């Protein structure tokens, strides 16, 4: 029986420029892992550890408020 190796995964740093957030909620709707929630009219990454790095939220954000960086 083969012994499994180490589990590899990526970790992402998620940034939101609040002044650019248009409160549209598109990031909340497109995220497949429910990273985002709207709080007081601002998109907040409440589960950043679940981010897959798919960049869907970055692509739909009309204000270009979201950045995702692999760390």
Residue found under tokens 């990031």: 27
Show me where the domains of the chain are located.
20-70
Cα–Cα distance, 71 to 11 (Å, whole number): 6
Residue 1 pLDDT grade (very low, low, confident, very high; cuts 50, 70, 90): low
Summarised one tens digit per residue, pLDDT across range 39-49 is: 999 999 999 99
Query: 20-70: which CATH topology?
Result: Alpha-Beta Plaits (3.30.70)
pLDDT at 37: 98
């Amino acid at each position: 029986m083969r012994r499994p190796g180490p589990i590899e995964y990526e970790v992402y740093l998620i940034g939101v420029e609040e002044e650019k957030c248009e409160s549209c909620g598109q990031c909340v709707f497109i995220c497949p892992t429910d990273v985002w929630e709207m709080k007081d009219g601002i998109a907040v990454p409440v589960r950043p550890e679940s981010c897959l790095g798919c960049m869907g939220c970055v692509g739909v954000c009309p204000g270009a408020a979201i950045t995702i960086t692999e760390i």
